[in-house]
Structure 1
Amino acid sequence: MYGETALKLIRDCRRNPDHPSQYSEDTVRAVITEIKLLANETNLLVSEYVLNNARPPPPVAAAVAMHTLAIKRSKRCLLAYHLHRIKLVKELVWTVGSIPADTRQKCSPTEIEFSQGYRNALMAYRAEFLDIDLTAAPVPPGDVFVEVRVLKDCGEVLTESGTIQLAKGTQHYVRRTDVEQFITQGYLKHVE
């Protein structure tokens, strides 16, 4: 059925709303191939009538309409899939500063190239506001100190009050400003 392959891309977006999954290159190629085949079939159906400047009979007109709708639907699905992924990449670059290595493996080369260009543009934009941290939360934190659990080893971290060893599975009571970047990157989890 037309559009079933494109629907897989939308389902993938719904399954992974917060983080990019593995880029579905094979599915994207299959959708593009389907679009090209439908466009060729439509051109073949219509070409005879266009040359003769005649109106196609209702069955041919219905087939052309069906093909055109299927092409438009598949294109919308492709655009929605790529827009979803680009939004996730932009969010990662904005909050973390770049795409983490584990997520980078799931991205297409074009997405990686986009993230680098977006990062450069963001760095240039941030340079204009040296005094302001644009990545900080717009709402001030409730507490100066927070309790965090280490999800991934971070090693020894230098803070205002000295160094702390952030080993996986440990919990620490630290200044929010010292560990906020690690929380954003997913290395630490705020324990409430």
Structure 2
Amino acid sequence: MYQPRAFVGTDAAQLDALFVADPFVTLLTNDEAGTPFASHLPVLYHRDGDRIVVEGHWAKPNPQARHAGDALLIVHGPHAYVSPGWYPDKHEAGRVPTWNYAVAHLRGHLETFDDESSLADLVARLSRHFEARVGSDWEFDATDARQQALLRGIVGFRFVPDRSDIKLKLSQNHPLANRQAVIDALSSQAFDDTRAVAALMRSTLP
């Protein structure tokens, strides 16, 4: 990932926040022929100090369920168009449109598992986590033969990154007046992403 120095995120809490806001990630691997393959998946994220573990599962027919080893996981943050018309110095500086966004790339090792007890534990934790996010209370029941049978249709994974790159492109390379003007403009928009970008921009102000 291209990372100009002004846009490098260095705080682990920034990565935590990206996962909390959007735990639906893109996981990239290479098949035996070296061809890239991508899946889009909900995941559980856990960080203990510097150690990160990301867990999830595929449908068993997904070719990526037969991949393991090196992998790249992309966490997608909010993003928004930025109009040059918002900048106070738009005329004298000859400003042009751009896009502000937050994203993280995690590189590391991917391992798979398909034993029933581990899959049951994973599905139970996934359902508890995401049911709580939507205010519901469905639970996986490992004693229900119908639900238990569905475990045979998935393959679980654990991903342990050894490198995490956070990019926060939030107009940090602009004068303070421009940054504040963009925050004000984005905050007035009707879209959740634009307001989220505005909030991130506000957190980077000196």
With the length of structure 1 as denominator, give the TM-score of the two structures. 0.23
Higher radius of gyration, 1 or 2: 1
The structure where helix makes up a greater share of residues is: 1
With the length of structure 2 as denominator, give the TM-score of the two structures. 0.22
Q: Which one scores higher on RCO, CA 8 angstroms, separation ≥ 6?
A: 2
